[in-house]
Structure 1
Amino acid sequence: MLKIFSTQVAGLLKSISDKEEQSIEESSRLLAQSVLSEGTVYFKGFYEMEAVVSEALSGENKFRAGANFTEVELSDLLPVDSVVVATRYLDDEKAVELCSEVRKTTECNVILIGGRRKDAEMNVNPDDFADIVIDTKAVRGLVPLDDGTRLGLPSGLTALFAYYALFLTTEEILEEYDE
């Protein structure tokens, strides 16, 4: 099982790296603008995606100008701020509601990270609620069982990979301005 899981995870990470490169680059530009404009980059995670918030704010590689979204009121958000929302699935009701509220209330950037299920399974279009969407590609378990079910949905793992892609790309952009 572990061999199947690790092979499948490696494939997902490569897919994120290849297919989400443009979204990551665009997101990083927006986040770098927030940092350079002395704005704040707020992080909000739903469910297991609190790991992204923890990594961004307390990890070895903290995000510059990062803050916990739960510690701010919507009315206090500034146009130079950005909000990064991480959730298991891009059509998660709580995440979509939060992104929608932020977009209605403020002019700050909203970046949504999560797995994009097939259109037939999704009840909303996440692109309508976020400036940029990063698909973690994790939408089902990776290890098939004899009864047809699957185990090992690596949503937290792929979201952390997406976070590091954002972090590293943003740092690369900011280094050009630091010189």
Structure 2
Amino acid sequence: MLKIFTTQLSGVFKRIEEQEDETIEDCSRLLAQTITGNGTIHIKGFGELEGIASAITESSESLPACASYGENIVKAGDCILAFANNARNIELEKLITQTESEGISVVSVAAVEKGDEPVPNEEFHIDTKLLMPLVPGEDGERIGYPVFMLALYVYYALYFNTNEMLAEYDEEF
């Protein structure tokens, strides 16, 4: 089963790399602009991804100016990096709608089901491509839903791109 899981997970990573690269670049540009503009990147995870904020902010590889959502007041010039298992997460949609009216950008990271209407912030949405567990079991049920691993993969894609952009701005960490 581990070989199947690894193969399937590698395939999802590859699809993100191939299909989301332009969006990741655009989102990284927004994060770099937030940092160079002295704003804060507020990290928020919904449901099983609640721990992503501490995984990112407590890491030695945290982007500058990151804080867990709710630690500070979100103000103009800030942005939010939000993670959910599905783009139709009601709390995620509510956050996007609320902050959009306040002029605050949200980079959202979640799976998008085919046929879904565009997500509210489609310009800054990264699709994790994980709609169901990866490994078929003997009973027909699928297991292995590594949503946290994919969220971290996307974070690192943003981290690498944003650091590269900040280096161009001669920012020091």
Aligned to 1:117: 113
Q: Secondary structure at the match of 1:178?
A: coil
Among candidates 87, 90, 103, match of residue 107 of structure 1: 103
Aligned to 1:82: 79
Which amino acid counterpart does residue 162 of structure 2 have in structure 1?
Answer: T
Q: Does 1:162 align with 2:159?
A: no
Contact (CA 8 Å) 2:54, 2:68: kept in 1 or not?
Answer: no
Aligned to 1:57: 57
4+ residue segments displaced more than 3 Å: none
Q: CA deviation at 1:50?
A: 2.6
Where do 1:1-179 residues align within 5 Å?
A: 1-73=1-73, 76-78=74-76, 80-104=77-101, 106-119=102-115, 122=116, 125-126=118-119, 128-129=120-121, 131-178=123-170
Contact (CA 8 Å) 1:15, 1:137: kept in 2 or not?
Answer: yes
TM-score, normalisation: structure 2: 0.92
Contact (CA 8 Å) 1:12, 1:138: kept in 2 or not?
Answer: yes
Q: CA deviation at 1:55?
A: 2.5
Unaligned stretches of 5+ in structure 2?
Answer: none
Q: Distance in 1 between matches of 2:48 and 2:17?
A: 21
Which amino acid counterpart does residue 166 of structure 2 have in structure 1?
Answer: L
Contact (CA 8 Å) 1:55, 1:61: kept in 2 or not?
Answer: no
Q: CA deviation at 1:27?
A: 0.3
Q: Deviations over 1:141-174 (max 9, x none)?
A: 1111233210001111111100000011000000
Aligned residues, how many?
Answer: 171
Contact (CA 8 Å) 1:115, 1:155: kept in 2 or not?
Answer: no
Contact (CA 8 Å) 1:85, 1:112: kept in 2 or not?
Answer: yes
Contact (CA 8 Å) 2:23, 2:123: kept in 1 or not?
Answer: no
* Structure with the higher fraction of residues in helix conformation: 1
Q: Distance in 1 between matches of 2:52 and 2:170?
A: 26
Which amino acid counterpart does residue 75 of structure 2 have in structure 1?
Answer: L
Unaligned stretches of 5+ in structure 1?
Answer: none
